[in-house]
């Protein structure tokens, strides 16, 4: 898991440039957006795929007005911090909605603990 302390959240009002910069800087395939009222709680996530879909959906003239709030997946699939890695891998592989390569990890306190990448699970020999 990539700890939340190393992947700073974006505000819902972050600009498209901020989103792209953060995605590039963290290079984990996703960034998390904090809830409006709490910087430690999950408001949504933005994956590379979310960004591509949003840019395709909006005309290039509208890109400068896009904010994280417009790009993010609200209520993404998450896992609890205590979830065994094997169960997390099964959730990623068997999701019917769409492919999952990054899962937000939520602690007992309801705050984001980090981001779990499919790549890390495979590297650990779970695949």
pTM for the full model? Answer: 0.90
Question: Tens digits of per-residue pLDDT, 59-114?
Answer: 999 999 999 999 999 999 999 999 999 999 999 988 777 779 999 999 999 999 99
- Closest-CA residue to 113 (of 38, 15, 6): 6
For the chain, give every domain's residue range: 2-123
DSSP state of 70: H
- Closest-CA residue to 42 (of 51, 32, 29): 32
- How much is the pLDDT for 127? 62
**In CATH, what is the architecture of 2-123?**
Roll (3.10)
Cβ contact 104:41 at 8 Å:
no
- How much is the pLDDT for 36? 86
> Mean pLDDT throughout 13-36?
94
């Amino acid at each position: 898991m990539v700890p939340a302390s190393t992947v700073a959240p974006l505000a819902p009002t972050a600009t498209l440039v901020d989103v792209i910069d953060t995605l590039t800087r963290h290079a984990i395939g996703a960034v998390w957006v904090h809830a409006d009222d709490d910087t430690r709680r999950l408001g949504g996530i933005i994956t590379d795929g979310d960004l591509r879909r949003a840019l395709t959906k909006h005309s290039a003239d509208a890109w400068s007005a896009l904010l994280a709030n417009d790009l993010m997946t609200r209520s993404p699939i998450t896992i609890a911090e205590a979830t065994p890695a094997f169960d997390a891998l099964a959730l990623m592989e068997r999701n019917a909605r769409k492919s999952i390569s990054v899962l937000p990890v939520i602690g007992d306190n309801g705050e984001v603990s980090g981001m779990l990448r499919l790549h890390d699970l495979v590297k650990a020999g779970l695949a």
